[in-house]
Amino acid sequence: MADPHPPIALGALVLDTQTDRVGVVMGRVGPHLQLRPPGGGVEWDAPPDAVLTAGTLEILRAKVTEQNHRGTMRSITR
């Protein structure tokens, strides 16, 4: 029987549908994928069946979030 969850490449930008978070695939531990926010941060585990390849909207959302985080960090360090 074919795998219902096609492999997702390391480094791929994905959407975790359980948490509605965008993440970068960092690896796999047991049955779960390890995801990290695109701008860095704490990894979280997601079941493969809850992960979709990020579309244009999710990619844009991730870029805006990362830029907002960088702007916040700059104002904190000044």
Phi/psi at 66 (nearest 5 deg)? Answer: -65, -45
All structural domains of the chain with their residue ranges: 13-77
First to last CA, the chain: 57
pLDDT recorded at residue 5: 58
pLDDT tens, position by position, 5-53: 567 899 999 999 999 999 999 999 999 999 999 888 899 999 999 999 9
Residue with tokens 């069946």: 49
**What's the half-sphere exposure (Cβ side, CA atoms, 13 Å) at 63?**
7
